[in-house]
Structure formats: C-alpha cells, structure tokens
Chain A
Amino acid sequence: MSKYVIEFSKTGTICYTSHLDVMRMFKRAFKRAGIALSYSQGFNPHPKMGFAQPLSLGYEAEEEFIEFETPDDREPAELLEALRITMPEGIDLKKCERQRKERKTLSSMTCAAIYEAVIPLHGKKCDVDGQIGSYLAQDRIVTLKKQKKKKELKEVDIKPMIRQITGAVADDELVLEMLMDQGSTSNLSPELILSTFMTFAGIDTDRSEVRVKRKKILFTEDPFQ
C-alpha cells in the first residue's frame, strides 16, 4: 500500500463546480486512469482519498492538494501522467509525490490560506492602505455567521482569525490579498472578510462581480514530506 499527494490548480469556468463535484470527479478520474484506490473497512467502505481544504463554489485556486492511497506501488510520475490525460479542462495536475505512510492527513495539517479577491471599483476612489489599516485597527470585527448544525445566524468576531491583509489598486480594480486561519482548529471564510471590509470601506460593488482565488494553503508541516 502506498500514499501519494498531488498538487493541482483549478482555473476557468470549472470553478463553478462544488467541492463534492470535484471529489467525485477525482474518484472517477482515478478509475479511468486505472489507478485502484484503497478502501476503508467497515459497513460503508469509501475510497481513501482526501483534500487539504474544501474550496468554495465559484473560487479559482492555484495550489490545491489531494492525497490518496492505493494498494499498488507505482512511480509518482507514472501516476501523474495516467491521471493528466483524463482530467477535464481547468484542472491542471502539477506534481505528484510519495508520502510517508504514518503522516497525518493533509486536512489536519492545514492551518491557514491566502486568498486573492479582485473587486471592480467602477471609478470609485479607494485609499487602500488607509482603509485596510483602520479596518484592522478595530477592536472587534463582528459579523453574522451561519451555524453548521442549527443553520441559525450567530454573531462572531472574526478579527482573531485574520492574519494579514494587503491591497493595491490597478486598472480600476482593487486587489485584496488576505491571509486567514483555515483548517480544523480555526477556520474563517474569506467571504466574511470580503463583506465586512467592503461595507467598512464603502465599496458597493456587487458580490457577483468579485473574483476570488485561493493562492496558497499553509500547513503545519511540509505536505510533500
């Protein structure tokens, strides 16, 4: 039995597929590529395959990770080639490496992520650095968040989960780069930074015009080790 991790990007219209869609897409790609996955034991066996962190519908991503286990032992380069030819347009597989068998899962090692949001300003002036400075200088940044189980809205202070925000304006567009907690211990959705920041800075661009991309996932350990 061998464990591998693959790095890939998700760009273009395929960003409109959901996390579950991409899971199914990979599962089927493995089948088409003739790569058998190991299955968990028990009443409801499922293939041993997982992502570092789910990606929201509509987001592009530059550096995503998927790990999987197979009963066969094959060269990473060979696996990568077999998978590459069967992936849909927009999913580009970059590299594949073997993983230590005893290593923790990628999702449990995920601790933060960097997102980039591109916000058209429609001629509106924006003092980016000033706005970001005073946004982050607030004592608390309170917003409403939907709870997972109860589906009720609850007030949360997101400030402790924001690690860094930088921004620049070019071609009438504001580009925000946001580093925030992500993963199983502390998790913040970039949507909450976006909505609170845009309200704070008085930017009334419609959400549907904003393009978001996950640029990087940060881990507590090197995922390729």
Chain B
Amino acid sequence: MKIDKKLDKILKRVEKPARYIGGEVNSVVKDPTEVSVRMGFCFPDTYEIGMSYTGMQVLYNVLNKNPQIACERAFAPAPDMEELMRQEGMELFTLETFTPLRQMDVVGFTLQYEMSFTNILNMLDLAGLEVRREEREETDPVIVAGGPCAFNPEPLADFIDMFLVGDGEELLEQVLLLKQEASSKAEYLAKCGKLDGVYVPSFYDVSYNEDGTVRAYEKLVPDAPDRVRRAVLQDLDKAEFPTANIVPFIDAVHDRSVVETFRGCTRGCRFCQAGMIYRPVRERKKDTILDIAMKQLKNTGHEELSLLSLSTSDHSEFEDMATELMGLCKAQNVALSLPSLRLDSFSFKVLDEIQGYRKSGLTFAPEAGTQRLRDIINKNITEDDIYSAVEQAIELGWETIKLYFMDGLPGETFEDLDGIADIAKKIRDINYDIRGRKGGRFRITVSVSNFVPKPHTPFQWAPQDRPESFIKKHDHLREKLRMKGVTFNYHETKTSTLEAIIARGDRKVGSLIEKAWRMGCKFDAWTEYHAPELWEKAMEETGVTAEFYAYRERSYEEILPWEIIDPLIDRRFLERENEKAKQAMVTPDCRQGCAGCGMNKHVKCFYGVEEGRFPVNTGKEAAHE
C-alpha cells in the first residue's frame, strides 16, 4: 500500500508507527468501487488494546465475508500521533486503505467501557466530523455504536445516530445492507429502526421531572418501538467465527488465537452486567470449537490459544474439550491458556499439565470477604472452596495467589472488609503449614475494586459509595493487610465515581462528556492521561452531579433512562433479586433450576447443550413467578 509523503513524514516522528500502517496478515483490503457499502469500524482506544478485542475480529470477519461490504478499521491515535495529525491537517483514516473516515458510508464505534467515551468524540473530531448528530450534514457518514455499554445508550444519545444493542453478528450486517436501499439518512434510520436491537435516539424526546428523574419518553416517530428489544443470536454453533484473525505486527495486549466457547452465564451474580445482558447460555459445540481453534492456529501462526466465555469450566463438554485441546496444542508447540476456571480437581490436573514448572499466578475472585456478603451478591463460592483449592495449588507448586474483591457493595460493613484480611491470612497460614515456617517465595496479591452499580442488574437501583467512604475503606484494608508476603492494590476512587455517573447516566450526561472532552479530557481509562480535576470542573459547569447519578438510591417507581432498552429479562426478576439480596438470600445457578428471569419467554435457554447434560429449561419453570 502506498502512503503519501505527509503521512510518511509523520510516521518517522511517532512512537510505534506500525500502529498506523495496516497491512497485517489476514487484514482485508477491498476495492471500494466493487462494494456497495463501506464501514469504518472504530475502537476508541489505541491499536494495541483494540486489536486484543475479539469482538472486532468477529464482526470484521462477518462483514468482509459479504462481497457487498467493506469493513475497515480505525483506532484512537496515541497523543503524539494526534498532535502531529492536527498540526499537519491530516484527518483520521482507515488502516486498510488510508481513506479518511469521513468518506465511509457508516462509521461504527464499539462501546466496551465508559471511560473510552471522550475518545469517541475525539475520533469524530479528528475525522473532521461534528460530534453532535444534529450538527452533522446529510452527506456525512451515519454514526453507529454497539457493545455492552449500548445497553445504556443515553449518555451518548446526542452524538450517535443509531445504536445496535445485543448480539451483533447478524444485526450489523443487516443494518449495513439496508444502506443501499435508502436514499436519505432519515429513510435509512427509519428502515433500520424496524429491526430488533436498533435504537435511534432521534425518534424519542425525553422529558424530566423537577427532581431530574425521567418523566417520560415521547415517541417522535409513530412506529418507533416503546422499548427497543435487544438482538439475540439463537444458534451460536452455526454463527460465523473467524478462522483467520488479523495478526498484528506489534505486540498487542493479547496477541493470540481465541475461540468463544459459549455466550451467557448461569451463575446470576447480582453485580454482574455481563451475566444479565448476555443471557441465555448458548454453546458452541466442542467439535466446532476444536475445528475453529486448529484453523486459527494454522492461519495465524499464533503461539498461544485461549478460550473465551464468562466461565470456562461451565461449558457442558469442558473436560473432553480441555483434554483434546491440550493434546493438540502440545503437538504444535502452542501454549494453551484457560482463563476463569472453576478450581476443582480436574482443572488442577489440566493447569498443572499446561503450565508445567513455569506456573503463573492463580487467581480467585471471592468478590466479598464474608459468606453473608457473598450471599448478598449471589457469588456462590464458599471459603472452604477457596481453602481447599489453595491447598492443592500450593502442593502442586504454585507460589502466587491473586485474590479479587470489591468494596462498596450493597450491605457491606467493616466486618466484611476484615473478612478480606482474614482470607489472606488464612491462605498465608495454609502455606506455612505446607511449606514450613519460612513459607518459600509465596506471595498473595489482594486487589480491591470499587463497586460501580450497572444498568440491567439487580443492583441498578443501588447507591454507590461516596469517595470519602471508599478512601476510609481502603485505609482500613491497608492497615489490616499489612502482612508479610501480602500486596494490596486498589482502584482510583475518582475514576469509579465518574464511571458510575456515566454508566447510569441519562441524556443530560452527554453534555458533561462533551464539556470534559472540550476541556481536553481523553484516554480517561489511562491513569497517566485521566484528569479528574478537569472532569470536576466540567461537572460544575454542566450541573451534572455525582449526588444524583452515583450516590442516590433509586426507587422501583422511577423510570430508569436505560429502560428504553429491553434486555429481555423481566424487571420484576431484577427487583426480586434485589429484595433477596437485602435478606442475604441466594438464588441457585440456572442449571439447578430456573431462576425465572423471563428470558425463556423469548428464546430457548441452554441452546446447543446436549440433551441430558444439564436440565434444559422448557419454559414451564418460569410459571412460578
């Protein structure tokens, strides 16, 4: 690919210029005159992060398989690159053809985390586009966005023309193909708006009560849906999955072959948004997974293979799959990585075999320090589970144990924090018992992250802890965890507050994001670039308060801004779960009986799971509600 002198000159002056040249093995370059629609797929963070994201590879593959569509990529340029581009008057371009993004028919952003939102505005601006949808021209590309954060699209509703909510493999392709059938933007949005999963913000007007809560959503277009149903892919096994992933030139955060084994999770942790919005569980068959994995390794030359799901060992054919994969990887000199395993004896056998004498750390996520609090959040793991696993791990030679917890959970007291220290201490003692008084090079890392309540979860009504409270809790934990061999990490409090504001924001939060960006905020997920003082100033100027969006407990009567999206799980289920949490009552895993979330009124649960492996829900179980 030839590039012009201006870009060539810039590339000589920036760090890691290979981020901006495309041309990687398996990237797809199409002749623009031979396709009917071109999409610029944007990841609002740097290349190394974006290229680690499997979802982009999935959609890139689906779209480029279609001869009518060209899907090209763009990432947020690092600050040194951005500065030179602005200086030289160069617009943001796609890596496939170096075409300015502005010349694409559709530009799409993936919404993976709230702290990337300022980068979206920045990328639009770098592309020479107005950030507000109302100010863009008819000839400008249609700006779409999808991904987990699209489940509350409202904070970005002023900037994005159309949101795609739910599984994207089929929906995005359908939406792009409709482009050629529409002669204007309005007509295009109207056509797309008829599909499940498409939310067009300009179809609704939102009015607010005096206290700032939502009064009503008024439809400006008569046939706009009352609520936008998320798109659901029923048969994951038959869905397209890439077998020739793009192989980056430079070191990406994750640069390996990946196969998604199943979507959804049956555990029902009450804080977990992924566990709610990706329901129901749909599996890819073991043989399909093995086949994809072997093709990917052949086509990429990767030296590592990983499996992707919310809980690896919950796949109904996990043991056979892991055993076969181990054999295949060993024969090809490929490292196998199995994240989020349930630590039973089978997993230990597997881990011991694949890690050999080079053991990485073992990670446990009890999330809360006492059984009472774990019951509140419905994290069904007991201390005995942890201790017996730790015992096995130490005996097999692991020397690093990582523990993940959250603080600021609903119903949390200082006793629960003490519980975190007790767990660390008990693990240290187990090591002393096994390896003797000195305990070897054994290390325990305790990481605590601040709880951020998320939309469409049982805790969506919950107040977030105030920064003073988080700081007090961190101080308390730091004292309690002052132990030899124990390291304590915790998250930046101000970032957590901001995340909570945006996560549960309404359309008014859009002005805060724009203001902050105009003041210079970008790369907010990067500690070195995040500027909390600018955000505070932007909050003052726009009147968006943490009091209202983060610290406030919402009532069941309130219309929540994200309820314009129907996640297909019943609101009553979320309320019931929230009430059970208040009484520390657990809800068992879906595999032990239907929890009645209402999903099975829309699609079949446990799709793709072989008869008899798990109780397959028929829908009758939901009758008890």
Docked-complex contact A14 and B21, CB < 8 angstroms: yes
Q: Which residue of A lies closest to B297 (CB)?
A: A31
Contact yes or no, A21 B249, CB < 8 A: yes
A59 to chain B, nearest CB (A): 10
Cβ 8 A contact of A208, one of B9, B18, B22, B301: B9
> Which B residue sits closest to A90, measured CB to CB?
B23
Q: Are A13 and B299 in contact (CB under 8 A)?
A: no
Q: For the complex, what is the distance from the CA of A57 to the CA of B594, rounded to whole Å? A: 58
Chain A residues with Cβ below 8 Å from B23 are 13-14, 88-90
Residue pair B301, A13 in contact (C-beta under 8 Å): no
Q: Is A219 an interface position by the 8 A CB rule? A: no
For the complex, give the distance between the alpha carbons of A208 and B8 in Å.
8
Contact flags B1-23 to A (C-beta < 8 A → 1, else 0) = 11100000111110001101111
Please determine whether B301 and A29 come into contact, CB atoms closer than 8 angstroms: yes
A189 within 8 A of B: no
Distance between Cα atoms of A81 and B21 in the complex (Å): 26
Residues of chain A contacted by B12 (CB below 8 angstroms): 58, 207-208
Measured between alpha carbons, how far is A126 from B247 in the docked complex, in Å? 45
Q: In the assembled complex, which residues on chain B have CB atoms less than 8 Å from the CB atom of A12? A: 1-2
Residue count of chain B within 8 Å CB distance of chain A: 29
List B contacts of A28 (CB < 8 A): 25, 247, 300-303
Whether the pair A86, B25 counts as a contact (CB closer than 8 A) is yes
Establish whether residues A17 and B25, one from each chain, have CB atoms under 8 Å apart when the complex forms: no
The complex places the Cα of A89 from the Cα of B96 at a distance, in Å, of 12
Interface residues of B in 268-302 (CB under 8 A from A): 297-302
> CA of A89 to CA of B20 in the docked complex: distance in angstroms?
15
| Alpha-carbon distance between A88 and B29 when the two chains are bound, in angstroms | 12
Contact A25 B249 (CB under 8 A): yes
Q: How far is the CB of A147 from chain B (nearest CB, A)?
A: 22
Give the chain B neighbours of A17 by CB distance below 8 A.
18, 21, 249-250
Nearest residue (CB) in B for A87 is: B25
The residues of A that contact B173 with a CB separation of less than 8 Å are: none
Chain A 31-42 interface mask (CB, 8 Å, partner B; 1/0): 110000001000
A16, A27, A89, A207 pick with most chain B CB within 10 angstroms = A16
Judge whether A30 is part of the interface by a CB distance below 8 angstroms. Answer: yes
Contact A208 B13 (CB under 8 A): yes
Cα A90 to Cα B249 in complex, Å, equals 13
Residues of A within 8 A of B21 (CB): 13-14, 16-17
Question: Is B196 an interface position by the 8 A CB rule?
Answer: no
User: Residue B48 at the A interface, CB < 8 A?
Assistant: no
> In the complex the two chains form, is B9's CB within 8 Å of A32's CB?
no
Mostly, the B contact residues are loop
> In the assembled complex, which residues on chain B have CB atoms less than 8 Å from the CB atom of A89?
1, 23
Interface size class of A (residues with CB under 8 A): 20 to 34
Residue of B nearest to A22 (CB): B249
| B298 with A13: CB separation less than 8 A | no
Residues B18 and A18 in contact, CB atoms below 8 Å apart: yes
Is the CB–CB distance between A32 and B18 below 8 Å?
Answer: no
| CB <8 Å contact, B11 and A58 | yes
**Is residue B24 within 8 Å, beta carbon to beta carbon, of the partner chain?**
yes
Does A127 reach chain B (CB closer than 8 Å)?
A: no
Of B250, B300, B301, the most chain A CB neighbours within 10 A belong to B301
Give the residues from 1 to 17 in chain A that come closer than 8 angstroms, CB to CB, to chain B: 12-14, 16-17
- Residues on B with C-beta less than 8 A from A29 are 25, 301
Task: Give Cα distance in the complex from A199 to B446, angstroms.
Answer: 55
Task: Kindly state whether residue A209 has any CB partner on chain B within 8 Å.
Answer: yes
**In the assembled complex, which residues on chain A have CB atoms less than 8 Å from the CB atom of B250?**
17-18, 21
Within 8 A of A (CB), among B295-322: 297-303
Pairwise interchain contact B18-A21, C-beta atoms closer than 8 A = yes
Bound CA–CA A18/B13 (angstroms): 14
CA distance A25 to B9 in the complex (A): 25
Query: Which one of B17, B298, B299, B302 lies within 8 Å of A58 (CB-CB)?
Result: B17
Say whether B25 contacts A13, CB under 8 Å: no
What is the chain B residue whose CB lies nearest that of A31? Answer: B301
Kindly state the separation between the CA atoms of A16 and B3 in the bound complex, as whole angstroms: 12
Q: How far is the CA of A29 from the CA of B26 in the complex (A)?
A: 12
Residue of A with least CB distance to B24: A88
Does A27 contact B303, Cβ atoms closer than 8 Å?
A: yes
In the assembled complex, which residues on chain B have CB atoms less than 8 Å from the CB atom of A14? Answer: 21, 23, 249
Query: Which residues of the other chain, A, contact B25 by a CB distance below 8 angstroms?
Result: 25, 28-29, 32, 86, 88
Q: Which B-chain residue is minimally distant from A34 (CB atoms)?
A: B298
| B302 CB contacts on chain A under 8 angstroms | 28, 31
Residues of A within 8 A of B13 (CB): 208
> What would 17 A/B residue contacts be, using CB atoms closer than 8 Å?
A13-B3, A13-B11, A13-B23, A16-B11, A16-B17, A16-B18, A17-B21, A21-B18, A21-B249, A24-B251, A25-B25, A28-B247, A32-B299, A32-B301, A57-B17, A208-B9, A209-B9
Instruction: Known pairs A17-B21, A86-B301, A88-B249; list 7 more (Cβ under 8 Å).
Output: A13-B23, A16-B20, A25-B249, A28-B302, A32-B301, A206-B9, A208-B13
4 A-B pairs with least C-beta separation = A28-B301, A31-B301, A16-B17, A208-B12
